[in-house]
Structure 1
């Protein structure tokens, strides 16, 4: 395996820093390492923002009172300058551990959908796909600030929230900070890590409908006071499904070790492993005359005796934090990811109908037998300088980011079709008859190198200017082994992205902001590009945004509003004639409004709400022969309106009741805007009893109204991914 020379140099520099720092003369007094810092993610004792309150390592007992707090804390997803969120000219939200537990969010999907403007549109092949700001699939995923290669298409998994400290959401383009990724938003999954703060041992267990078991175990603390700390978390789930024959097993293990060499130098080592294995995974329910079929919601058309749907990812991370001198901080990261996915399924279903139930048939096709291998290695080095310009405080960060991703896919698909009973589909061993051995299909290598700057200048105590600049080079190499002649291709992309914004504190705790930013993205994952797509230019985007952030009543209330306009050029969309391929169109735009609010009128009551309205449209899109214009049409899977409303009530210290209402408008499922998924509303209810200082018992009802709705369509709209019906859960939390 060849290693990028620049990666070797960066690795050597990072590993040499601890020894170099120990030998530096102590010309200034040592000061404690800043905890309230994006450079101390691993040990943040408390991160709080907007309607979501975030605490990790704190006592979970009074979650209701902690979900509305000032906008004073930092979020590294939005800025690496350690600036509080109120000083960042962008729309930022943090979903904290306490809030996720109180709402009963079991997975990242359930948690992230409660952020303003995010809606999930996931399928088994893209298990963490979201829509935001009018762009379906326009959300990038980060893992502890690091990009997940291939995004929702190849590498993401539906992770359990048990091992997470928080989820940070930055809405809008983010190329300046995170490279060529999604324009709609960035979702950063931040795990719990070693800390010198007090961390009580935890055991959480729940039992739910469809024999669903979920377990979380966690412990950590100081091995040697102020010198060595550890953290270990395990999350596991085993569940059947309302859909017949589906069985899922998930396991996650997160381990970290924190070494403090001095008051100015610390090193965190982290090892994370996640695996999932689903038997007879649900691939959707065929639509009947374009409508959702509730009568079929429990039937599984993907039943194979030799079926497989499993994956595993292992991360190794090294994080060095060094206060090099007064006003200087160095933050370095090395990381590696090894991942593997394996599929053997029937994926496409079309309703054929029939005069009577006994004669009604469904056609099955797209027999998929493939695997993906992923190897990612990279490093990032940031240097932060705190100084003054013309007597005014200034923070300047400069950084370099290098990575190399190797991707390989083997497959042995079968193109046959069969017709089965719509009500009693048979269990078959199809791949046993055509052979299971896979052959190499493609190899892809993507190398990335970037330089970036970020600056925050306090022009006056009330007025701040934030700017950023990034130049990135992306080199792609493809080898298609499943095509005649084994064609190869190479392509190098270069782009420069920038952002500039001002924040003005009009009155105490009321901040107004405005910003402009640009971004670039591949339009679709580079890993799966065909020979024609590999040579297409990057999609470019430009956004203008204005907003308001205010904290009220000594932190008992807060609200934010953001208005934005985004225009993307050279946009990639599925080819209407061949949906598996992507074509480039002229322009797509969106314009919208986002609101978040939280209010704690009394210690017993908590109100939370967010709303997002967006007008998304194609501005320049023609396809077909003769050409058909889709100008003015709304892109598929982009709801015009998304609403969330949460209510919490604590009538007595030992009791808490919560309700969460979610409403999503209808979405179109094709570019012609001739087919839709209907609007829906869901209601989740919960009651929690603090039986003792160490024990809490909860009871939950999800989708209490038993709403029939779908969160995605699959294969050109012939089938829909129906959401689960009403379910129940009882759980217990122990803190020792």
Structure 2
């Protein structure tokens, strides 16, 4: 797999130089220690260990990226969710989007122009950070587009403001997708094949192989998945390949290095952009029956992405309770679009007006290095954990848009193959650069957990970022779009939380956290107009919660109540509706619940519920040249209630069956709250046959009620529909 090697930018050189020195120091020190080890030749074959464990709940899982400290979910005073590999397999997760149903209150849709459009705690888009292995590419609204989940071992999420962990953004929450890595503990191999409705085929395999010597143990891991999928949408076709490989070496006792490479290639032919909707009495949007399943994109419409990741992970444990880690990474992505993207019904609702022809290319590269040190010690005689780190990154993106926003044509409701992209007058396959955005970030952070008493602990965290934005305009310069401009931001964010253990199984907590949000949401695509008069938006949250689990591990539950306020939003100037002011405010309050219960060995139940009251407290938009206040209204695409339930029953050692339910309340389409989409409830079921401990055959049905439902409202004229009834037969086997 080719990996582009580029010279790191000057702004990152100080930390990269420190990283190089760190590597050298660790290697020299560990080499001296390794010299004392005698090479006894190849590693002898050992039998798999048999370990007896008490029953565990999700609260016993590692908190992962939701803290820089080594904590379990149950020990972290925050609303944290971890969906591990086992849960993904049991729930039939196919893509990273499917996994997010396990996070209380989250709704998600993936229109091609929106990527993974997540709404959480009343906030959406770039206000919810999406990370890959703890790395933010600062363009998650597109870069986090769903990919096949086979290569991921877990998904981690923390609700509410969390800029103190990985930088600006994350007012509504942060989600992290974690890739499988090579493991020195054992050899494994696995594979699966599936066939589904609409000619949906997948093949996936993976494995871990130990090799090397007793002195220098090594392991190689490889996971690959391929999917060729048709669609219930007319003539939409998706082909996707994802590969993740890693090589881990124990250079010396206490010192390990991992090289991880990933590749993703996705081609979507004639991608579905949405369905035209009509406005019924009362402002409810609905879809005409003849339009359901129709594809109004041009016959040769296309979306594709080519993504490459390279990471170098160095971990050194110089002493007991002390760890030093360094992560150097490079991300390279190329995304291409050529589509007619906007549709609306004619006044008689008998034809579709198409507009918005767009040729677009994104060329993005990210370089970065993060170093952190963790230590367990005492502070004034009290047990304490420390995490101290620094982070440097350089994000460069050039976009090449050719947009023709006007009307293209009008086609019948039952159109099958309406034209070709190059038939649109004025369109050509010409890639002319618009502007290049360069975002330099340097950051330092510290996190501490101190046990004040045997039952009371204090968690604190602080992060300071130095963000420099430099934009080059490749087109004709104007006063509103100069040839070059720059902006500088210096946000500081943090959290403080108390955790009180009422008993070994019950805990309560209270926390206060803050976040900083870039103006216009994404600095890697920002124009002068979106950042000229604005500093960063700020967010703060107060949260209280409780967690419990039974002594036998058969039941657990979490509950969190929160209030978030986000300030300094862009809002229209009432005195001059053509201008904007940074005086807006948005807030939300809500409750989230997650639970699990296993009353016996046969039956297991898991689920989550969430309620949110989200408000535009101070917001004005321009309508027909007039500034209109939307204060008190609900943000678009924000449901007040979301719930999910999974139940599984094992009839014997071989046969089991289960059902899943998902319900989402109605959502407003616009800031005026005059238009809305209906709520929905869908259900699915599965039957599983286990062929011994290592193989299983699963028949799964989704949306068995064949409900037509709106996954996302794109605007007043278009909605993005969710999938209808579908079936899947899957064979999974480990070796």
- TM-score, normalised to structure 2, is 0.91
| Cα displacement (A) at 1:425 | 4.8
Residue equivalent to 1:533: 530
Q: Trace 1:604-683 onto structure 2 (pairs within 5 A).
A: 604-624=602-622, 625-683=625-683
Q: Trace 1:319-398 onto structure 2 (pairs within 5 A).
A: 319-354=313-348, 360-398=350-388
Which blocks of at least 5 consecutive residues in structure 1 are unaligned?
30-56
Residue equivalent to 2:4: none
Residue equivalent to 2:723: 724
Residue equivalent to 1:195: 183
CA spacing shift, 1:124–1:203, aligned 2, 3 Å = same
How far does the alpha carbon of each residue in 1:33-69 deviate from its partner, in whole angstroms, 9 at most, with x for none? xxxxxxxxxxxxxxxxxxxxxxxx999xx9xx99962
**Is 1:9 paired with 2:17?**
yes
**Is 1:304 paired with 2:293?**
no
CA spacing shift, 1:519–1:415, aligned 2, 3 Å = closer
SS of the aligned residue for 1:189 comes to strand
CA distance in 2, matches of 1:315, 1:573: 38
Q: Is the 8 A contact 2:220 2:246 kept in 1?
A: yes
Q: Trace 1:477-516 onto structure 2 (pairs within 5 A).
A: 477-485=470-478, 486-516=482-512
How far does the alpha carbon of each residue in 1:601-630 deviate from its partner, in whole angstroms, 9 at most, with x for none? 000000112101011001111232533111
| Cα displacement (A) at 1:658 | 1.4
| Cα displacement (A) at 1:673 | 0.4
CA spacing shift, 1:401–1:589, aligned 2, 3 Å = same
SS of the aligned residue for 2:23 comes to helix
CA distance in 1, matches of 2:277, 2:496: 47
CA distance in 2, matches of 1:705, 1:112: 22
Residue equivalent to 2:311: 317
Residue equivalent to 1:106: 94
CA distance in 2, matches of 1:629, 1:382: 46
SS of the aligned residue for 2:552 comes to helix
Q: Is the 8 A contact 1:292 1:709 kept in 2?
A: no
SS of the aligned residue for 2:286 comes to coil
Q: Is the 8 A contact 1:394 1:456 kept in 2?
A: yes
SS of the aligned residue for 2:598 comes to strand
Residue equivalent to 2:517: 521
Q: Trace 1:180-219 onto structure 2 (pairs within 5 A).
A: 180-219=168-207
CA distance in 2, matches of 1:258, 1:117: 37
| Cα displacement (A) at 1:413 | 2.3
How far does the alpha carbon of each residue in 1:383-412 deviate from its partner, in whole angstroms, 9 at most, with x for none? 112111232211111100000001001122
| Cα displacement (A) at 1:560 | 0.5
Which blocks of at least 5 consecutive residues in structure 2 are unaligned?
1-6, 38-47, 280-284
How far does the alpha carbon of each residue in 1:417-441 deviate from its partner, in whole angstroms, 9 at most, with x for none? 2111121254322325632112111
| Cα displacement (A) at 1:70 | 5.9
CA distance in 2, matches of 1:701, 1:180: 40
SS of the aligned residue for 1:440 comes to coil
CA distance in 1, matches of 2:437, 2:297: 30
| Cα displacement (A) at 1:216 | 1.1
CA distance in 2, matches of 1:573, 1:365: 28
SS of the aligned residue for 2:273 comes to coil
SS of the aligned residue for 1:602 comes to coil
Q: Is the 8 A contact 2:243 2:263 kept in 1?
A: yes
SS of the aligned residue for 1:110 comes to helix
| Cα displacement (A) at 1:157 | 2.3
| Cα displacement (A) at 1:484 | 3.8
Q: Trace 1:115-134 onto structure 2 (pairs within 5 A).
A: 115-134=103-122
Q: Is the 8 A contact 1:285 1:293 kept in 2?
A: no
CA distance in 2, matches of 1:211, 1:718: 30
Q: Trace 1:217-296 onto structure 2 (pairs within 5 A).
A: 217-224=205-212, 227-289=217-279, 290-296=285-291
Residue equivalent to 1:698: 698
CA spacing shift, 1:258–1:367, aligned 2, 3 Å = same
SS of the aligned residue for 1:113 comes to helix
Q: Trace 1:527-606 onto structure 2 (pairs within 5 A).
A: 527-535=524-532, 536-572=534-570, 584-606=582-604
CA spacing shift, 1:216–1:25, aligned 2, 3 Å = closer
| Cα displacement (A) at 1:232 | 0.1
- TM-score, normalised to structure 1, is 0.91
Q: Is the 8 A contact 2:19 2:326 kept in 1?
A: no
CA distance in 1, matches of 2:573, 2:656: 50
| Cα displacement (A) at 1:27 | 14
Q: Is the 8 A contact 2:660 2:685 kept in 1?
A: yes
Residue equivalent to 1:54: none
Q: Is the 8 A contact 1:70 1:555 kept in 2?
A: no
How far does the alpha carbon of each residue in 1:95-137 deviate from its partner, in whole angstroms, 9 at most, with x for none? 0111111111101111112321110143212221201111122
Q: Is the 8 A contact 1:129 1:139 kept in 2?
A: no
CA distance in 2, matches of 1:693, 1:403: 45
CA spacing shift, 1:410–1:574, aligned 2, 3 Å = farther
**Is 1:152 paired with 2:141?**
yes
CA distance in 2, matches of 1:120, 1:453: 32
CA spacing shift, 1:541–1:554, aligned 2, 3 Å = same
Q: Is the 8 A contact 1:567 1:587 kept in 2?
A: yes
| Cα displacement (A) at 1:531 | 1.3
CA spacing shift, 1:421–1:66, aligned 2, 3 Å = farther
Residue equivalent to 1:51: none
| Cα displacement (A) at 1:442 | 1.1
CA distance in 1, matches of 2:455, 2:35: 34
Residue equivalent to 1:37: none
CA distance in 1, matches of 2:54, 2:173: 26
Q: Is the 8 A contact 2:437 2:526 kept in 1?
A: no
